[in-house]
Structure 1
Amino acid sequence: MKKIRNFCIIAHIDHGKSTLADRLLEYTKTVDARAMKAQVLDSMDLEQERGITIKSHAIQMMYTLNGQEYILNLIDTPGHVDFSYEVSRSIAACEGALLIIDSTQGIQAQTISNLYLAIDHDLEIIPILNKMDLDNAMPEIVEDQIIGLIGCKRTDIIRASGKTGLGIEEILERIVNDIPEPKGIEDAPLQALIFDSVFNPFRGVIAYLKVENGILRKGDQVKFVNASKEYVVDEVGALKLGMFERSELKAGSVGYIICGIKTAREVKVGDTVTHSKAPCEKAIDGFEEVKPMVFAGVYPIDSEDYEDLRAAMEKLQLNDASLTYEPESSAALGFGFRCGFLGLLHMEIVQERLDREYDMNVITTVPNVLYHVHTTRGETINVYNPSGLPATTTIDDIDEPFIRANIITASDFIGPIMTLCLDKRGTLLKQDYLTTDRVEMVFDLPLGEIVFDFYDKLKSISKGYASFDYHMLDFRPAKLVRLDILLNGEMVDALSTLIHFNNAYSFGKRMCEKLKELIPRQQFDIAIQAAIGAKIISRETVKAVRKDVTAKCYGGDITRKRKLLEKQKKGKKRMKQVGNVEVPQNAFLAVLKLD
């Protein structure tokens, strides 16, 4: 165990984590030159295309220092706020962390929140100044920020470049010298923490784990504590670029375990694995329970695919433990699932992965957040979906969730960002200057307001410089109303939204105008209405496609033309009674991007 070092990489989005990880793998010859490519750990096509890390990735490297060979277990983590749950799991499996800061941008919001996570777990922090090869690097200024943040010496900060390989050797030496060895006991009962898992159609569930105490061998009878299930271990091994089988995993090491588990829900991330015959006294404290922020309905386009969607969801949840779902049905869309996501990017990624990895074509409804509705009878109901709101007469008041948001930006953008947050019903709590031209602003904001497009708008008005991080606060009373969309008098439940009273009129009007553009014309007029309760607040009409029935009348009496037009009118009226209006998928998506 003296030769093992477990560490993760934490940073803000786009500060060069994956590129630096590539250089570490190259330097330790973990990946040979032929297999080397950019972002080698980002295995998903989506990650390669978007240049972001979505999943944490574990990999083992061998490194020799002063004639001694060391095993380094690296876990590369995502930087986006929507995937902070992945980061919390990686941190639980490590003893040290490389804190990477972009020398051209300095410290940002996500850097700070991930750093606090690492400090809470008592990890050894190694500060690294990345992208030193760029002309606009400002090492002295950023070093001052780092010293102010973690109180280290200037000599502790490593200047590096993921692109050119500058400082890589120094980083590896510091990992060996500074990061403590794991504190497990080999003779103690087996205790291992599952921090991730994937589904393989041939091998079943493959769980990635860190052995805290004891030894895990092939052929052992093991028990998953929280799931209360027992299995025989078919294979254990180490994670390099592929999976390498080993006869045993000792305390302190990170690896994988295969037990031929075919049901995805039996393996939970954060569960403890122990021996059936000599179990450990207590399970390891996993990471905090995930709290979904945004709820949306996911429905198969073809209702026959419902069971396939359920199976796809199960397998996806195994690989992405922050996704929660439960079955629900809608009058407009049939059977589907109400899913909980950590944010809009997470929702988009899940939808994309369902399409690519499981070939599932799905419709996603308008995202909502969780509301607490207090009724006149003194009950409190949790409402995830506007269509689940009780009758207006029985509602006493509605509480909505609030978040505390930290925004770090250049001082030039304070005005526009403040306007944006105040428009979203936010309250400014404090404003601190970190340096002469960098400001940290703290707001309290309703979660329902930032769900749609807040992050995109923030990035646009700050030219990409503002960084944003948030955590849940509490529930506060608000004057909310349910806005319904009616097509020919029929309510489309998937388009209903809960919205603040002051914004309802303008939102309803914009929604009707948008739907008018997107709903294809039929043989009859379609009335699109926005309503609050029984009160219609806006209306648009999609005109009917009409045949020119009077074209064959050359002159003659006007009554001949009128007779034909009346006959057409009757036909249209009859058609309207039996016709139904299909809402196209892009109409659901357009509602999200109204601005």
Structure 2
Amino acid sequence: FSTSSNSNYSSSEVEKNSIQALIFDSYYDSHRGVITFVRVFSGELEKGKRVKLANSGVEFTITEVGYFNPDLIPNEKLNQGEIGYVITNLKDIHQVRVGDTITNVGTGRHLSLLGYKKVKPMVFASIFPTDSNDYLNLKKGLEKLYLNDSALQFQGIYSKALGAGFRVGFLGLLHADVVRERLEREFNLNLILTPPQVEFKREDSNFFEPVVKIMIITPNDYSGRMMQLVQNYRGRFIGMDSVGTSRDLSLQYEMPMSELISDFYDRLKSATSGYASLDWEFLEYRQVKADKLEILINNNLVEEFSEVVVSERAYEKASNLLKRIREIIPRQQYEVKLQAKYKGKIIASERISPYRKNVLIKSGKVIGAGDVGRKRKLLEKQKEGKKRMKMIGRVEIPKEGFLKLFKR
């Protein structure tokens, strides 16, 4: 371990007094708490020693250390340069993060290994179990995945339509699909994913949109594609620099967070054959012309599809969303009206026509042939029946529909 990389500590302090062990994986045991996998860079880890996590500040007493063989084989201590496991006996999984450093208690300083950085999720969406009884299993599954996936963030929420669930942060849409797949396969769950959204601040009638600064590092050959892509996502150019002696470029932009959390990251990777990398930091909230885009199904508001949208995106978002909803809702015995309401006005609409029986034919024979009044009476009777069905009927959106809507 090179002490020259961190000028805050003297060489004697690092070599003689410090413990520095990097956590690279972990899992939860119901009896022994969080079990971390570590590599010891300096010092010794042994049973009964009081230590702390450098970045979170959580203290604990080591209950056991050992090696992999490949099972967990207990040992008296782990020495400098060795890889093994540490049983923390911590029952809260949120206290331990992959990338954190185990170090001394009472050193008075953070002896965190360089390179640790909290991962920022790129896409936010809500996850709900199709069966409300599976809520606790979903929570347990997310907690277990969180232990070895430091990019995963989640908090509990409640929806009138979908019940109890979680608001979850992901790195991208692919990451979201992988997490959903693992939850369904490993924990035997049926899940619903809602479309990604961002929260706006509202003061009186004014909306403030979160704006971030993004830095894209991409090979020079893809710079033209990158600039066009960012402009399509309402990005504002700040600057461009070359990266060292390589042919890579660093592009800096300001971009609304609502654009970033959609499928921008995935499009970025596709446009550069996977070579580009992206980092971002929050700048500020800026006032924009925006309002809530409300989605109505048969005049009933569907809160899960409604979100705050800037004016320049309202019609485009409404039209695309209604067309996709129309594709996923099964045809009914009555007409289904889909509408998008923005600033008190209907700006887009779609219609799902009902199943309709030909009431003018019975047993292969035409009824009221030549009698226009008789035909009209039969059609009006059918129309009234459809109208009554519409009043008492409830449109159910299938689980697969939410999964399709999750992709832009």
Give 2:225's match in structure 1, choosing from 416, 419, 423.
Answer: 416
Q: Distance in 2 between matches of 1:535 and 1:184?
A: 70
8 Å CA contact retained: 1:227, 1:268: no
Provide the residue aligned with 1:442 in structure 2: 252
The answer on 1:456 being equivalent to 2:282 is: no
Deviates more, 1:315-324 or 1:200-209: 200-209
Matched ranges for 1:30-49 at <5 A: none
8 Å CA contact retained: 2:213, 2:283: yes
Give 1:591's match in structure 2, choosing from 396, 399, 405.
Answer: 405
Provide the residue aligned with 2:38 in structure 1: 209
* Other structure's SS at 1:517 match: helix
1:513 CA drift (Å):
1.6
Distance 1:313-1:433 versus aligned 2 partners, 3 A rule: closer
1:537 CA drift (Å):
0.5
Residue by residue, what CA displacement relative to the aligned partner does 1:390-416 show, whole Å, maximum 9, x if unpaired? xxxx233313131222241343x4433
Provide the residue aligned with 2:142 in structure 1: 313
Question: Which one-letter code corresponds to 1:294 in the other structure?
Answer: V
Provide the residue aligned with 1:431 in structure 2: 240
Q: Distance in 1 between matches of 2:396 and 2:315?
A: 25
Provide the residue aligned with 1:493 in structure 2: 303
* Other structure's SS at 1:367 match: coil
Provide the residue aligned with 2:374 in structure 1: 560
Q: Distance in 2 between matches of 1:199 and 1:465?
A: 33
Provide the residue aligned with 2:321 in structure 1: 511
Between 1 and 2, higher relative CO (CA 8 Å, sep ≥ 6) is seen in 2
1:529 CA drift (Å):
0.9
Q: Distance in 1 between matches of 2:5 and 2:126?
A: 35
* Other structure's SS at 2:361 match: helix
Q: Distance in 2 between matches of 1:406 and 1:121?
A: 28
Matched ranges for 1:7-22 at <5 A: none
1:288 CA drift (Å):
4.4
Q: Distance in 2 between matches of 1:465 and 1:273?
A: 34
Provide the residue aligned with 1:502 in structure 2: 312
> What CA RMSD, in Å, does the superposition of the two structures yield over aligned residues?
3.5
Distance 1:536-1:267 versus aligned 2 partners, 3 A rule: same
**TM-score, normalising length from structure 1?**
0.58
The answer on 1:576 being equivalent to 2:390 is: yes
The answer on 1:342 being equivalent to 2:168 is: no
Q: Distance in 2 between matches of 1:310 and 1:455?
A: 27
Distance 1:206-1:428 versus aligned 2 partners, 3 A rule: same
1:485 CA drift (Å):
1.4
1:309 CA drift (Å):
0.8
8 Å CA contact retained: 1:322, 1:341: yes
8 Å CA contact retained: 1:366, 1:497: no
Give 2:189's match in structure 1, choosing from 360, 367, 387.
Answer: 360
8 Å CA contact retained: 2:34, 2:87: yes
Question: Which one-letter code corresponds to 2:214 in the other structure?
Answer: R
Give 1:525's match in structure 2, choosing from 335, 352, 371.
Answer: 335
Distance 1:341-1:436 versus aligned 2 partners, 3 A rule: closer
User: How many pairs does the alignment contain?
Assistant: 393
Give 2:348's match in structure 1, choosing from 523, 538, 541.
Answer: 538
1:510 CA drift (Å):
1.6
8 Å CA contact retained: 1:190, 1:280: no
Q: Distance in 1 between matches of 2:271 and 2:122?
A: 24
8 Å CA contact retained: 1:406, 1:440: yes
Deviates more, 1:584-593 or 1:432-441: 432-441
8 Å CA contact retained: 1:193, 1:209: yes
**TM-score, normalising length from structure 2?**
0.82
Distance 1:361-1:316 versus aligned 2 partners, 3 A rule: same
Q: Distance in 2 between matches of 1:466 and 1:216?
A: 40
1:240 CA drift (Å):
6.7
1:525 CA drift (Å):
0.5
1:256 CA drift (Å):
0.8
Residue by residue, what CA displacement relative to the aligned partner does 1:409-444 show, whole Å, maximum 9, x if unpaired? 343x44333222112111223334567975443333
Provide the residue aligned with 1:258 in structure 2: 87
Distance 1:215-1:454 versus aligned 2 partners, 3 A rule: closer
Matched ranges for 1:228-247 at <5 A: 233=63, 235-239=64-68, 243-247=72-76
Provide the residue aligned with 2:123 in structure 1: 294
Please list every run of 5 or more consecutive structure 1 residues that lacks an aligned counterpart in the other structure. 6-94, 97-118, 123-179, 376-393
Provide the residue aligned with 1:480 in structure 2: 290
Please list every run of 5 or more consecutive structure 2 residues that lacks an aligned counterpart in the other structure. none
Provide the residue aligned with 1:34 in structure 2: none
Percent identity (aligned): 36
The answer on 1:326 being equivalent to 2:177 is: no
8 Å CA contact retained: 2:123, 2:262: no
* Other structure's SS at 1:458 match: helix
